[in-house]
Amino acid sequence: MTSYKVCVVGGHCSNRVMIVAEQLTEFFEKNGIVCQVFTHLAASEYGFPPRSNLILQLLPAFNEEEAGVPVINIKPLIGDPAHPATIEKILRHVQDYYAM
Amino acid sequence: MSSQIYLDYCATTPVHANVRDKIAIALDVDFGNPSSMHWAGKAARELMDQARVDVADGIGAIPDEIIFTSGATEADNLALFGTMQQFSPENAHIITSSIEHHAVLHAVAELEQKGYAVTYLPVDKSGLVNPDDVRHAIRPETKLISIMAVNNEVGSIQPISEIGTIARENNTWFHTDAVQAAGLFELNVKKQHIDLLSISAHKIYGPKGIGALYVKSGLDIRPMIIGGAQEHMLRAGTENIPGIVGLGAAMNLVRQHREEESRRLSELRKCLIDGLQSIDTCVVINGPDEKVSPHILSVSFVGFDSEMLLIRLNGEGIAVSLGSACNSQSIEPSHVLTAMNLSQDQIDSTLRISLGMPTTKNEIELFIKKVKEILPRSIIQ
């Protein structure tokens, strides 16, 4: 099975998107989920969605129709890295993928 | 990308052709060091003297009261540190507002760390300081009041004449950061009882890297940069003659066009508000209805992500700002909008649109059209 790719999308602030990506990487590792987390700044490119299995975005850059993959708003993670509803949504998508 | 539209004149303005021509003379012809005693130095000194007269005339001061600096940040720093450092911290108090530019707020915070007492005045929901709050905050040991003339994020016009009068009545010095006011408002330091006033060239169609601090005759402030007798011993270093000439020319330019530009921009601002409000009920205008500068519009698109709006507008060649340009890299919540008690959601959905001499009605109409197209794709999910 190829590695599951998760793209964290931010706006201008590379620090913020990196922090969220690092937190998510730790979270996935702790939960035994094998995946590759990478980042994308919409300020540099918002016309074409990044190639991934799941897009987690801090701002409304892409929709599922154009991305062709699930897109989740993760803005609540900025204030609360363990935001339960957001984490649950992410987990559900990842688990669905591995259940296939 | 379609043609570019610049609507971020609060961040900076383009150098006007007339200003550029004057700067070219200082760069190419009169290149001397004004401290030199020969013909080249004399020519440069004459250019500098004329610029000092032009800047002084622009604010109702006399030329000897103008100290050229590297910009308004240095002018603000010189006003605050230069005033306060002559007093011991335990006997000196400063009054400022919570919506000042960081050039003032960070300098005040530094003074606070050194032990000076500081009062940060609140603002109302329009972003206005209440003069009565200034009066009530004054203590026997208050040495300085620093309140900006026009706020750079929401355009609120502060009651600086009233505050100046209060300061004078209480034997306290009054500093105002007039960076956003200098282009469109008549400033008169004598009539408005202003003791210290900061301006910047690049906000009024002059070059970057040059500004000035007005220091009322007789005021004793300490220099921050030492090592020469320039600028009445208040700012050592060879003068930036091309910049100084540019500041003088820019001041003349805005003085000549102040009234007509103020009228014209007021009409454009109204078109902008009407156009944006016709798009969606989510549009909320921040700042005062009346006491507001005609070149600044702070607008919240409630329920929409302003950063995504900015990114998409930029993709269409339209330049606007998120709250304050100084914050755009870190995207921290605006301290101005926070002080005005806007909700976090409203702050997150706010753009600052600022107009200038080159702005046309056609640009405003195109901007509104683009916002209409882009808005549905920037909904906070």
Domain parsing of chain A, residue ranges: 4-99
> Do residues B235 and B324 share a domain?
no
> Do residues B223 and B340 share a domain?
no
Mutate to test the interface with B, among A16, A59, A71 (most CBs of B within 10 A): A59
Write down the pLDDT at residue B2: 52
Q: Does domain A4-99 have CATH number 3.10.50.40?
A: no
Binary contact (B308, A60; C-beta < 8 A): yes
pLDDT band, very low/low/confident/very high, at B358 (cuts 50, 70, 90): very high
Distance CA B71, CA B89 (A): 27
Among the partner-chain residues A12, A46, A63, the one whose CB lies closest to the CB of B312 is A46
**Pairing outcome for strands A54-57 and A4-10:** parallel
Q: Which amino acid belongs to residue B179?
A: V
Write down the pLDDT at residue A1: 53
**B258-281 b/e with 16+ CB inside 10 Å = b?**
beebbebbbebbeebeebbeeeee
> Do residues B27 and B161 share a domain?
yes
Q: Give residues with Cβ within 8 angstroms of A97, minimum separation 6.
A: A4, A53, A54
Q: Is B287 left (phi over 0), alpha (psi -120 to 50) or beta?
A: left
Distance CA A40, CA B107 (A): 36
Residue B155's nearest CA partner among B9, B269, B295, B263 is B295
Distance in Å, alpha carbon of A25 to nearest chain B alpha carbon: 23
Judge whether residue B144 has pLDDT over 80: yes
> Do residues B230 and B369 share a domain?
no
Mutate to test the interface with A, among B306, B377, B378, B379 (most CBs of A within 10 A): B377
Domain boundary among B213, B233, B254: B254
> Do residues B199 and B338 share a domain?
no
Chain B: residue whose CA lies nearest to A57:
B381
Binary contact (A46, B380; C-beta < 8 A): no
- Local structure of residue B235 (DSSP, 8 states): B
Name which of A17-21, B15-19, B30-34, B331-335 the model is least confident about.
B331-335
Cβ of A43 under 8 Å from any chain B Cβ?
Answer: yes
- Local structure of residue B75 (DSSP, 8 states): H
Mutate to test the interface with A, among B331, B349, B351 (most CBs of A within 10 A): B331
> Do residues B48 and B91 share a domain?
yes
Distance in Å, alpha carbon of B205 to nearest chain A alpha carbon: 28
Q: How many domains does chain B have?
A: 2
Binary contact (A60, B381; C-beta < 8 A): yes
Binary contact (A12, B312; C-beta < 8 A): no
Q: Which domain holds residue B304?
A: 5-13+258-378
Write down the pLDDT at residue B309: 95
Cβ-in-10-Å burial (0-12, 13-18, 19+) of B20 comes to: middle
Among the partner-chain residues A13, A47, A73, the one whose CB lies closest to the CB of B331 is A13
* B286-302 pLDDT, tens digit each: 999 999 999 999 999 99
* B191-228 pLDDT, tens digit each: 999 999 999 999 999 999 999 999 999 999 999 999 99
Active site residues of B: 326
* B303-351 pLDDT, tens digit each: 999 999 999 999 999 999 996 443 334 457 899 999 999 998 899 899 9
Distance CA B116, CA A4 (A): 56
Distance in Å, alpha carbon of B329 to nearest chain A alpha carbon: 6
> Do residues B146 and B91 share a domain?
yes
> Do residues B30 and B173 share a domain?
yes
Residue B5's nearest CA partner among B327, B350, B315, B325 is B315
Residue A65 with chain B: CB contacts under 8 Å = none
Would you say B212 and B75 are in contact if contact means Cβ atoms under 8 Å apart? yes
> Do residues B99 and B111 share a domain?
yes
Write down the pLDDT at residue A73: 94
Residue A50 DSSP SS3: coil
> Do residues B34 and B182 share a domain?
yes
Q: Assign residue B274 the CATH number of its domain.
A: 3.90.1150.10
Q: List C-alpha distances in Å: B168 to B135, B144, B193.
A: 11, 11, 7
Residue B283 DSSP SS3: strand
* B113-123 pLDDT, tens digit each: 999 999 999 99
Cβ-in-10-Å burial (0-12, 13-18, 19+) of B37 comes to: exposed
Distance in Å, alpha carbon of A1 to nearest chain B alpha carbon: 32
Residue A63 with chain B: CB contacts under 8 Å = 377
Distance in Å, alpha carbon of B21 to nearest chain A alpha carbon: 36
pLDDT band, very low/low/confident/very high, at B373 (cuts 50, 70, 90): very high
Cβ of A60 under 8 Å from any chain B Cβ?
Answer: yes
Cβ of A17 under 8 Å from any chain B Cβ?
Answer: no
Write down the pLDDT at residue B151: 98
Q: What are phi and psi of B156, to 5 degrees?
A: -65, 130
Q: Which residues of chain B are at the A interface, by a Cβ-Cβ cutoff of 8 Å?
A: 305, 307-308, 311-312, 314-315, 328-331, 377-381
> Do residues B236 and B286 share a domain?
no
Write down the pLDDT at residue A82: 87
Residue B312 with chain A: CB contacts under 8 Å = 46
Binary contact (B381, A73; C-beta < 8 A): yes
Domain boundary among B198, B222, B254: B254
Cβ of A91 under 8 Å from any chain B Cβ?
Answer: no
Q: pTM of the full predicted structure?
A: 0.93
* B160-189 pLDDT, tens digit each: 999 999 999 999 999 999 999 999 999 999
Write down the pLDDT at residue A2: 62
Would you say B335 and B24 are in contact if contact means Cβ atoms under 8 Å apart? no
Q: Give residues with Cβ within 8 angstroms of B181, minimum separation 6.
A: B149, B150, B157, B187, B293
Q: What is the pLDDT along chain A (100 residues), one digit of tens a residue?
A: 568 999 999 998 888 899 999 999 999 999 888 899 999 999 988 778 889 999 999 999 999 998 999 999 998 888 788 899 999 999 998 888 877 6
Distance in Å, alpha carbon of A47 to nearest chain B alpha carbon: 9
Token digits for B200? 């910047």
Binary contact (A60, B305; C-beta < 8 A): yes
- Which ipTM did the prediction report? 0.88
Domain boundary among B254, B287, B311: B254
Q: Give residues with Cβ within 8 angstroms of B359, minimum separation 6.
A: B7, B9, B265, B268
> Do residues B147 and B218 share a domain?
yes
Binary contact (B331, A73; C-beta < 8 A): no
